[in-house]
């Protein structure tokens, strides 16, 4: 009998503890939600133009001329750059690649070494200095390619035109061997964001 009483008492104690435990953890609650937390990246959108009016991803024949003679300078032209994106950039870089077609007279050096810069500036600022890598005494298209192009051309604002101004002359020292030669230059522009933050 005692065992039954002990067992009944034990069950009563366990039941009381269960009821008390349930009562101890009862509380009011309410829940709120923060939704539509969207994280979207902006964009850089480099646009180029030959006339500072019509912009597109790529342009052609910005610079150049035919039937050049030694000492002749072409008209100054501008390659216009603009960031039409939603994120401010930091700077632009311009790489230049020259493809020289030799008419058979085997000029050495090639014609791009005689295409001297009369004007090479950005946004009308001071002349951009590049190394005279072929040591001919002036800055030319061959030097621009050899130097790796132009770097750190400031372009931080959105939807604002920035002009790379170029005027090229066929230097007066150009030899007869470059007659009928041709240089096809490709200017590749890269817009870069500042990632130092």
Does some domain include residue 111? yes
For the chain, 197 residues long, give each residue's pLDDT as a single digit of tens. Answer: 566 677 666 666 766 666 555 555 568 999 999 999 999 999 999 999 999 999 999 999 999 999 999 999 999 999 999 999 999 999 999 999 999 999 887 888 999 999 999 999 999 999 999 999 999 999 999 999 999 999 999 999 999 999 999 999 999 999 999 999 999 999 999 999 976 65
The DSSP letter of residue 14 is H
Does some domain include residue 178? yes
Instruction: Give the whole-angstrom CA distance, residue 4 versus residue 12.
Output: 12
- Contacts (Cβ under 8 Å, ≥6 apart) of 56: 47, 48, 49
Does some domain include residue 7? no
Domain hosting 168: range is 46-192
Asked whether the beta carbons of 117 and 166 are under 8 A apart, the reply is: yes
Asked whether the beta carbons of 102 and 175 are under 8 A apart, the reply is: no
Does some domain include residue 106? yes
The total of structural domains in the chain comes to: 1
Which of helix, strand or coil describes residue 193? coil
Does some domain include residue 96? yes
Does some domain include residue 78? yes
Does some domain include residue 171? yes
Q: How many CB atoms lie within 10 A of CB 44?
A: 18
């Amino acid at each position: 009998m005692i065992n039954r009483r002990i067992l009944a008492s034990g069950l009563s104690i366990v039941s009381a503890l269960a009821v008390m435990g349930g009562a101890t953890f009862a509380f009011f609650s309410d829940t709120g939600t923060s939704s539509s937390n969207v994280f979207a990246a902006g964009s850089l959108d480099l646009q180029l133009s030959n006339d500072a009016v019509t912009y597109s991803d790529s342009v052609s024949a910005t610079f150049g001329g035919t039937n050049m003679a030694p000492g002749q300078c072409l008209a100054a032209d501008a390659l216009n750059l603009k960031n039409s994106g939603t994120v401010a950039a930091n700077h632009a870089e311009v790489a230049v690649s020259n493809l020289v077609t030799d008419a058979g007279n085997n000029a050495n050096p090639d014609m791009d070494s005689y295409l001297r810069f009369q004007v090479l500036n950005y946004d009308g600022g001071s002349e951009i200095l590049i190394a005279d890598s072929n040591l001919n005494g002036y800055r030319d298209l061959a030097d621009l390619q050899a130097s790796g192009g132009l770097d750190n051309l400031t372009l931080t604002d959105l939807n604002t035109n920035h002009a790379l101004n170029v005027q090229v002359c066929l230097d007066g020292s150009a030899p007869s061997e470059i007659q009928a030669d041709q240089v096809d230059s490709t200017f590749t522009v890269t817009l870069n964001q500042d990632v130092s933050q």
